Amino acid sequence: MKSTHSVKARAGKGESNPPMEDELNYQDILRIVGGWSITLRAALARDILTLPTEQVELDERRQNALAKLRGFLKTEEPPPSDEQVKQWLEERTEKYG
C-alpha cells in the first residue's frame, strides 16, 4: 500500500528524535519500522490500535463525571429567578467588594 501522507516526527517520553527530516512519509515509516524486532513492531501496532479506544474511553468517563455532577446539583426546587440571582450578586458584591 503506497501513500503520500506525511507524518511529523515525534519522540515519546524519554526518547529523542533520531537524526532525520522533520517530516516522514508512509514509506519512510515502513522502512524504519521494518528494521525493528517483531516484538517492537507488535507493540507499536498495539499502541496504534488502542489510541482511538483510549480517547473514546476518556470521553465516556468525562461524560459520566458530568452526568454525576449534574445529579449532585439537581434539586426539587425551581431554578432561581433572574431577580434572585441579581440580589445574590449584589449581596456578595457588598460583602466581598
DSSP per-residue string spanning 27-55: HHHHHHHHTS-HHHHHHHHHHHHHHHHHH
- DSSP label of 13: T
Q: How far is CA 85 from CA 79, 80, 82, 88, 92, in A?
A: 10, 7, 5, 5, 11
Q: What is the pLDDT along the chain (97 residues), one digit of tens a residue?
A: 444 444 554 444 444 455 455 578 889 999 999 999 999 999 999 888 887 766 677 777 788 888 888 777 778 888 889 999 999 999 999 888 7
The reported pTM is 0.34
